[in-house]
A and B are shown apart, each in its own frame.
Chain A
Amino acid sequence: MADVNRGNRPLSPFMIGQYYRPQITSVSSIMVRITGIALLCLSILPVAWLLAASGSGSAFAGWDGFLRSWFGYLIMLGALWAMFYHLLGRLRHVIWDLGYGLDLEISRKMGMGMFVLATVLTVLVVLGFLIF
């Protein structure tokens, strides 16, 4: 039986920093996590807006005014992009988990595709709301 070595084993280095060059596969994956956590925090916005809407007129006016200010729209634009990006990222995980698209070339293409497609979808939705 092989010797048991419990103390002196090499550790895998932390992914971010000097050890690994940023690659589209790692950057696109880290962005999925960041957008996910950002979306959890940003869920406050619609919840607060709804709570205000269910309450008095002055509370609603305050929150609605904030959401529809240029700053509110900027946050919502970011949230929209994050939603699409995260959705595509998770879809990539589903594709991987089903056993497809695991080779490096397709993974790279999917990584780039997530940034491009999320941006395209965001622009389409904004245009859609501006037109209709």
Chain B
Amino acid sequence: MKYMTDRKRAQGLGSARGGTQHHWHMMVSSIALVIVLPVFIITFGIGLGGSHEEVMAYYSRPFPALVMAITLLVVVNHTMNEAVEAVEDYVHGTAQKLALVAVRCFAYLLILVGLFAVARLAL
């Protein structure tokens, strides 16, 4: 006879030990991207296709540069969370830990390199 309620015994045993924060982050970035992505598609589509000088001039303007920076930040963060979720679902043990490190390093590297390039073009 254990002096625990049914709820207490079940607590923490589910596959998901946390997730409210992740869920809310996905809600926020999903809604943000509904606006950001179409603007990105248009500005990137206009930027692509010019000569090197034209592209440099285009991304030295604040609007295309800011759209690119915002899109990179939000998209890569959002899809990183997506990939982290997939890893947590399908990879376990040490491989999971290493895969999580790899996914996050890859994502943050992408964001940093992208922001560096945008800053160099825009400033």
Contacts and interface: CB of A to CB of B under 8 A. Distances in A.
A106 B18 CA distance: 29
Classify the interface of chain A: helix, strand, loop or mixed.
Answer: helix
Given A4-B2, A40-B82, A40-B83, A87 B34 contact: yes
B98 interface: no
In this complex, the interface size class of chain B, counting residues with CB under 8 Å from chain A, is 35 or more
A34 B80 CA distance: 12
B37 A87 contact: yes
Contact of B120 (A43, A54, A64): A54
B59 A50 contact: yes
Given A4-B2, A50-B118, A90-B33, A39 B79 contact: yes
9 contacts: A1-B6, A36-B83, A37-B79, A47-B72, A51-B113, A54-B121, A68-B48, A83-B37, A90-B26
Interface of A: 1-2, 4, 33, 36-37, 39-40, 43-44, 46-47, 49-51, 53-54, 57, 60-61, 64, 67-68, 80, 83, 87, 90-91, 93-94, 97, 125, 129
